[in-house]
Amino acid sequence: MKIQVLTDVLKANQTIALENKKIFDKNQILVLNFMSSPGAGKTLILEKTIEKLKKDFNFAVIEGDVATSNDAERLAKYDIPVVQITTESFGGACHLDANMVKKAMETLDLSGVQILFIENIGNLICPAGFDLGEDKKVIVLSTTEGEDKPSKYPVAFRNSDLLLINKIDLLPHLDIDLDLLMQNTKKVNPELFSIKLSAKTEQGFENWLDWLVREYRSKSKKKSSSGK
């Protein structure tokens, strides 16, 4: 009985996610769903990305948290459209779902927006199961989290398109075995592309920016060649 209920929830979510995706595609917006544990550095990565590419692209952000609008406030200072979703009023849900994103879009001015970041709620479990209508899922893992996370939370890694290994500036102080981390990642998702960076020192950051710009161009190319 319980399994049936969960199936229905996911099915309903998938329907709304597809509706969201249609709107994103029609408006030619590249949408990335960011997942990570709390404190892995999602918000700082977004801040630096927006700061560096703001003159070339129009950004918007949907921020998910259980409570507070701290992260939304950090991003709003770049003078871009930001909507905060707090799930405390939905019983403290540990993930965003497609319907929450749909509701957020009603208050978000998407005109002219080219890249929309959705910062999911910080944990490696619940966000992995719910599509929001995004083009790509990005998983951020901090070097402080150890090399076993892909093995412990395989769904989040299996469903992602890009792995950002953040805080590489801390490597001299840590015992993490990056080769083992990559082996563990390959076991659950051999296709997962990864980039090592530090949002703080900006080491490796240009590789992530290149990936992002490539994804945006490839989406707009698809759109213009479809002739719509």
Binding interface with Mg ion (CB under 5 A): 42-43, 71
Q: Which C-beta is closer to Mg ion: that of 97 or that of 119?
A: 119
Q: Give yes or no for a contact between 99 and 13, defined as CB atoms under 8 angstroms apart.
A: yes
Joined together, the tokens standing for residue 86 give 């707090």
- In angstroms, the CA 215 to CA 213 distance is 5
Residue with tokens 């949408």: 31
Distances (CA, A) of 78 to 50, 58, 102: 7, 11, 23
Give me the least distance between CB of 137 and Mg ion, in Å please: 16
Give me the least distance between CB of 119 and Mg ion, in Å please: 6
Q: Which C-beta is closer to Mg ion: that of 37 or that of 43?
A: 43
Q: Which C-beta is closer to Mg ion: that of 38 or that of 112?
A: 38
Q: In what order do the strands lie in the sheet with 162-166?
A: 82-86, 59-65, 115-119, 30-36, 136-142, 162-166, 193-196
Closest-approach residue to Mg ion (CB): 43
Residue with tokens 């609008």: 69
Give me the least distance between CB of 135 and Mg ion, in Å please: 21
Give me the least distance between CB of 19 and Mg ion, in Å please: 26
Give me the least distance between CB of 30 and Mg ion, in Å please: 20
Q: Which C-beta is closer to Mg ion: that of 72 or that of 165?
A: 72
Q: Which C-beta is closer to Mg ion: that of 98 or that of 118?
A: 118
